[in-house]
């Protein structure tokens, strides 16, 4: 296995796909010309401010809006008493899309309060400031009920949902786990706790709603336009075709922009009532209750092995908090079904309802908390066996998918670990904890594996070339900061043999062909593959016209397959400029579409187990006196098929590694057990790693091409940097100190 070349030394290649090309939308973003949701300017927009509940459970017994209504500039105060009728929370109108994306989520439709900071009023005014003053003048009296907030105390109330959120079975069982685990000579039985966590995209959730007759245009910040539109249609009880979603630039989206939230519903309702455009944004603090989170979890991992380190039994049980009114079950243990060989296996997901808003997808949903726990347990087993953690994983490498029984497509986990070990200097690690000391610091090394299912979402792309040779592609795909505009430009330019400057990618408008959107690390492969097909179809149409048109200079030229290179079409010995050709043979331009089906509907998914892989390495320094943990180095070696852009791919993995640091060492939203209130709901008190925390990071991509995955040979990688990277850090902390902290994040108090 050759490792890929670093971004720097690939630039000699002539191909565009894979090149470390800087973002084509970068200049727009850094000069402020990329328009984000709240910045769209329309004539006569009014501004809404949301007022949230100050209890977590109960009902509104009195709500006095008179003062607010009389305040200067206030146009309207909406509460459950006067909000337009909406369908009950529940099934969606679009049966083809999973209900979780598309169900009606009405706002201000009841006197019930179901979670702390749930919207109880929207004040709309001529300015945002007037709306905020107005919101402060609304007085609400509640009848509070006792809420349930403590997951650990309520594990006995756990129930089994029908399926995990992503559609996987909640349970899997192969062989006889209990007997095999009982009989195993070496075992680990460890319980880990992960806290509530919140995603904080730089751009908060915001919407501008503009009605025209019975149609509404929604300028917002959304990851998946089609699902978003379907969910809003259910909530407003109108046809999806009557909604246009516009979301060309998105200031980050980590799962929290997959479904409709309060800003969108309330802006749309108020704009309809007032017959003028309305803007509503969630404040940073409001996002903590109203834009999703990763739920608190308890995980028990049980591993039984023989003395040689071969797993005889593997069990992963997950208990997760869910909201009392809407179920959300992450696929936390699903990765474990494909990672290591073991004849006796058990994975289970259980939910405990609490009086908190629903959990939602948060970058690497499932695998992030799941691998954080599981890959620590594997490290614990290695220690118990006296075996190197990489060697233990190699001994349990399965020949085929251990639960599905089908072959893997490409799987280079061992190569990732070995290449990482070589580059990281893993041999310098001393397996005896606490044995490397530098001054006050104890130095520790840790590693962990990463695995991520490869998803493809149903996607169509349209591409057109005009008489000047300009290429335009349109998809309702989004670029959430990941590099979609750039990657799609590379794909179209390489395929059609035109310079990147001749290609314009248009995204983020629901009038364009429907795509998977961005999420689940499926965006680049799904949109890229559809565009690849669309470009091939366009080349065929051009070729047809070139061969047959009376006006074509290449008419009748040989039976050779034409090539599209350097802005020209070449047929045998003949060539002509593409722009010139189109100008002559199709002055109105030529267009074509291309599509990919959802991965789960394809033969290739049924016959191959498709995942991307990685190995994460971490070195930490722990102050022996204070317990302060500092990152020193991280390395991730990734096997994710063909890399479409070495620069944006690297950025994705770096971001993921930083999430790993957050999960291992810093991130935790604290729920007040008395009030059900997230107390640290801003970026001052919710700690995420900053530049000074991440230290040195390196990313290496293995040279891979997965011909089973899709026509590009690429697999999803966006979230792969998160999976397992936190466990590598936790394992390094143990190697430094000899202490196993099983309750995340590992803050210094837990080491004293
Ligand atoms: Mo990501 S949590 O799949 O948007």
CA distances for 689 relative to 376, 648, 653, 693, 736, angstroms:
21, 20, 15, 5, 21
Cis peptide before 293 (omega within 30 of 0): no
Active site residue 719: yes
Q: Candidates 98, 201, 224, 258: which one to mutate for ligand 1, based on the most atoms within 8 Å of Cβ? A: 258
Residue 278 has pLDDT above 90, yes or no: yes
> For residue 421, with 0-12 CB atoms within 10 Å meaning exposed, 13-18 middle and 19 or more buried, which class applies?
buried
Which residues form ligand 1's pocket by a CB distance below 6 Å? 223, 254-255, 258, 361-363, 365, 519-520
User: What is the per-residue pLDDT for 600?
Assistant: 84
Dihedral sign for Cα atoms in the order 68, 73, 79, 81: positive
SS (H, E, C) 296-336: CEEEEEEEEECCCCCEEEEEEEEEEEEECCCCCCCCCCCCH
Average pLDDT (135-161) is 95
pLDDT over 90, % of the chain: 91
Residue 350 has pLDDT above 70, yes or no: yes
Q: How far, in Å, from the CA of 64 to the mean position of ligand 1?
A: 40
Pick the CATH number of 400-452+609-752 from 3.30.365.10, 3.10.520.10, 1.20.1530.20, 3.40.50.460: 3.30.365.10
Weakest mean pLDDT among 100-109, 501-510, 656-665: 100-109
- Quickly state the pLDDT bin for 183 (edges 50, 70, 90): very high
Determine what percent of the chain falls in helix, strand and coil, rounding each to the nearest 5: 30, 25, 45
User: What is the per-residue pLDDT for 96?
Assistant: 56
pLDDT tens by residue, 554-586: 887 767 788 999 999 988 888 899 999 999 999
Q: How far apart are the first and last CA of the chain?
A: 43
Ligand 1 atom with the smallest distance to the CA of 255 is 4
Dihedral sign for Cα atoms in the order 717, 722, 723, 724: positive
Buried b (16+ CB within 10 A) or exposed e, 362-390: bbbbbbbbbbbbbbbbbbbbbbebebbbb
Residue 94 has pLDDT above 50, yes or no: no
Average pLDDT (709-735) is 96
User: What is the per-residue pLDDT for 317?
Assistant: 98
Contacts of 685 (CB under 8 A, 6+ apart): 679
Average pLDDT (478-507) is 97
Element housing 639 (H / E): strand 629-639
Q: How far, in Å, from the CA of 522 to the mean position of ligand 1?
A: 9
Residue 93 has pLDDT above 80, yes or no: no
Q: How far, in Å, from the CA of 536 to the mean position of ligand 1?
A: 30
Ligand 1 atom with the smallest distance to the CA of 480 is 4
Query: Could you tell me which residues are beta bridge partners of residue 611?
Result: 453
Give the closest residue to 726 by CA, choosing from 582, 614, 623. Answer: 614
Rounded Cα–Cα distance for residues 524 and 482 (Å): 9
Residue 548 has pLDDT above 90, yes or no: no
> For residue 594, with 0-12 CB atoms within 10 Å meaning exposed, 13-18 middle and 19 or more buried, which class applies?
buried
Rounded Cα–Cα distance for residues 604 and 37 (Å): 39
Q: How far, in Å, from the CA of 363 to the mean position of ligand 1?
A: 5
| 727 touches 379 (CB < 8 A) | yes
Ligand 1 atom with the smallest distance to the CA of 361 is 2
Q: How far, in Å, from the CA of 223 to the mean position of ligand 1?
A: 9
pLDDT tens by residue, 365-388: 999 999 999 999 999 999 999 999
Strand positions, DSSP E, 386-440:
437-438
User: What is the per-residue pLDDT for 97?
Assistant: 60
Contacts of 467 (CB under 8 A, 6+ apart): 579, 582, 583, 586, 587, 588, 589
Contacts of 460 (CB under 8 A, 6+ apart): 475, 513, 514, 515, 530, 534, 593, 594, 595
Question: What totals of helices (H) and strands (E) does the chain contain, helices first?
Answer: 19, 27
Rounded Cα–Cα distance for residues 659 and 662 (Å): 5
- Quickly state the pLDDT bin for 102 (edges 50, 70, 90): confident
Farthest-apart Cα atoms in the chain, separation: 85
Q: How far, in Å, from the CA of 6 to the mean position of ligand 1?
A: 27
pLDDT tens by residue, 503-547: 999 999 999 999 999 999 999 999 999 999 999 999 999 999 988
Q: How far, in Å, from the CA of 11 to the mean position of ligand 1?
A: 31
User: What is the per-residue pLDDT for 44?
Assistant: 96
User: What is the per-residue pLDDT for 9?
Assistant: 37
Residue 4 has pLDDT above 70, yes or no: no
Q: Candidates 365, 479, 526, 655: which one to mutate for ligand 1, based on the most atoms within 8 Å of Cβ? A: 365
Q: How far, in Å, from the CA of 177 to the mean position of ligand 1?
A: 32
Give the closest residue to 193 by CA, choosing from 743, 749, 579. Answer: 743
Rg (CA), the chain: 27
Catalytic residue among 203, 360, 375, 719, which?
719
Q: How far, in Å, from the CA of 706 to the mean position of ligand 1?
A: 23
Ligand 1 atom with the smallest distance to the CA of 256 is 4
Q: How far, in Å, from the CA of 226 to the mean position of ligand 1?
A: 15
Rounded Cα–Cα distance for residues 235 and 73 (Å): 29
Rounded Cα–Cα distance for residues 710 and 494 (Å): 17
Q: How far, in Å, from the CA of 710 to the mean position of ligand 1?
A: 20
User: What is the per-residue pLDDT for 553?
Assistant: 83
**Edge-to-edge strands of the sheet including 139-144?**
112-113, 58-64, 139-144
Ligand 1 atom with the smallest distance to the CA of 363 is 2
Q: What is the mean pLDDT of the chain?
A: 94
Q: Take atom 4 of ligand 1 and give the residue whose Cα is closest.
A: 255
| 495 touches 33 (CB < 8 A) | no
For Cα atoms 148, 149, 151, give the angle at the middle one, nearest 5 degrees. Answer: 110
CATH architecture type of domain 457-597:
2-Layer Sandwich (3.30)
In this structure, what are the phi and psi dihedrals at residue 572, rounded to the nearest 5 degrees? 55, -125
User: What is the per-residue pLDDT for 10?
Assistant: 36
Rounded Cα–Cα distance for residues 315 and 333 (Å): 9
Query: Could you tell me which residues are beta bridge partners of residue 50?
Result: 122
Rounded Cα–Cα distance for residues 528 and 513 (Å): 14
Q: How far, in Å, from the CA of 720 to the mean position of ligand 1?
A: 12
Residue 53 has pLDDT above 90, yes or no: yes
In this structure, what are the phi and psi dihedrals at residue 289, rounded to the nearest 5 degrees? -100, -20
Q: How far, in Å, from the CA of 576 to the mean position of ligand 1?
A: 45
Rounded Cα–Cα distance for residues 129 and 580 (Å): 56
Q: Where does CATH 3.30.365.10 sit in the chain?
A: 400-452+609-752, 457-597
């Amino acid at each position: 296995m050759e490792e890929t070349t670093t971004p720097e030394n690939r630039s000699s290649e002539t191909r565009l796909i894979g090149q470390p090309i800087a973002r084509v939308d970068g200049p727009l973003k850094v000069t402020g010309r990329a328009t984000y949701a709240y910045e769209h300017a329309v004539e006569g927009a009014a501004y809404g401010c949301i007022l949230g509940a100050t209890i977590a459970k109960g009902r509104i017994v009195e709500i006095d809006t008179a003062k607010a209504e009389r305040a200067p500039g206030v146009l309207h105060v909406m509460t459950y008493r006067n909000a337009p009728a909406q369908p009950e929370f529940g099934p969606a109108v679009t049966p083809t899309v999973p209900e979780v994306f598309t169900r009606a989520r009405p706002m201000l439709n009841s006197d019930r309060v179901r979670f702390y900071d749930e919207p109880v009023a929207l004040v709309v005014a001529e300015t945002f400031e007037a709306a905020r003053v107005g919101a402060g003048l609304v007085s609400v009296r509640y009848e509070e009920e006792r809420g349930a907030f403590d997951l650990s105390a309520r594990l006995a109330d756990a129930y089994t949902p029908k399926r995990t959120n992503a559609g996987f079975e909640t349970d899997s069982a192969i062989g006889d786990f209990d007997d095999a685990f009982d009989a195993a000579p070496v075992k680990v039985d460890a319980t880990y706790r992960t806290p509530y966590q919140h995603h904080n995209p730089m751009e908060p959730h915001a919407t501008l709603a503009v009605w025209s007759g019975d149609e509404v245009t929604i300028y917002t910040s959304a990851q998946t336009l089609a699902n978003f539109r379907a969910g809003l249609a259910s909530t407003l009880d109108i046809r999806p075709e009557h909604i246009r979603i516009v979301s060309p630039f998105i200031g980050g989206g980590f799962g929290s922009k997959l479904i409709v939230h309060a800003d969108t519903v309330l802006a749309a309702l108020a704009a309809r009532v007032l017959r003028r455009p309305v803007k509503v944004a969630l404040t940073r603090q409001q996002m903590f209750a109203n834009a999703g989170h990763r739920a608190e979890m308890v995980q028990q991992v049980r591993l039984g092995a023989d003395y040689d380190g071969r797993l005889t039994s593997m069990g992963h049980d997950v208990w997760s908090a869910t909201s009392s009114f809407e179920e959300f079950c992450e696929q936390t243990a699903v990765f474990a079904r494909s990672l290591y060989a073991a004849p006796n296996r058990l994975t289970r997901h259980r939910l405990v309802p609490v009086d908190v808003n629903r959990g939602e997808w948060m970058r690497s949903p499932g695998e992030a908390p799941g691998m954080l726990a599981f890959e620590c347990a594997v490290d614990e087993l290695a220690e118990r066996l006296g075996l190197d953690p990489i060697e233990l994983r190699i001994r349990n490498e399965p020949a085929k998918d251990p639960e599905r029984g089908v072959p893997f497509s490409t799987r280079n986990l061992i190569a990732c670990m070995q290449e990482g070990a070589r580059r990281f200097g893993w041999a310098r690690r001393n397996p005896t904890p606490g044995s490397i000391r530098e001054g006050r610091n104890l130095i520790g090394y840790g590693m962990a594996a990463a695995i991520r299912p490869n998803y493809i979402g149903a996607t169509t792309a349209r591409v057109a070339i005009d008489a000047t040779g300009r290429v335009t592609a349109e998809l309702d795909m989004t670029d959430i900061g990941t590099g979609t505009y750039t990657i799609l430009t590379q794909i179209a330019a390489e395929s059609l043999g035109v310079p990147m400057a001749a290609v314009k990618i248009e995204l983020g408008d629901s009038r364009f062909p429907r795509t998977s959107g961005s999420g689940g690390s499926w965006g680049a492969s799904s949109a890229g593959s559809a565009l690849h097909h669309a470009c091939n179809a366009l080349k065929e149409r051009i070729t047809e016209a070139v061969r047959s048109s009376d006006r074509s200079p290449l008419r009748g030229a040989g039976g050779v397959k034409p090539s599209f290179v350097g802005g020209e079409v070449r047929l045998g010995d003949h060539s002509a400029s593409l722009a010139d050709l189109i100008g002559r043979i199709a002055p109105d331009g030529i267009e074509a579409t291309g599509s990919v089906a959802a991965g789960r509907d394809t033969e290739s998914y049924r016959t191959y187990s498709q995942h991307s892989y990685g190995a994460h390495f971490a070195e930490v320094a722990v102050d022996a006196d204070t317990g302060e943990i500092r990152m020193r180095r991280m390395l991730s070696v990734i096997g994710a098929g063909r890399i479409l852009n070495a620069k944006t791919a690297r950025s994705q993995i770096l971001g993921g590694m930083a999430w790993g640091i957050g999960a291992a060492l810093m991130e935790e939203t604290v729920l007040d057990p008395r009030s059900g209130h997230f107390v640290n709901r801003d970026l001052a008190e919710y700690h995420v790693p900053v530049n000074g925390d991440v230290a040195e990071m390196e990313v290496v991509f293995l040279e891979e091409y997965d011909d089973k995955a899709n026509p590009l040979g690429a697999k999803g990688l966006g979230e792969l940097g998160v999976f397992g990277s936190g466990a590598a850090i936790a394992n390094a902390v143990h190697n430094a100190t000899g202490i196993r902290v099983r309750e995340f994040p590992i803050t210094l108090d837990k080491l004293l």
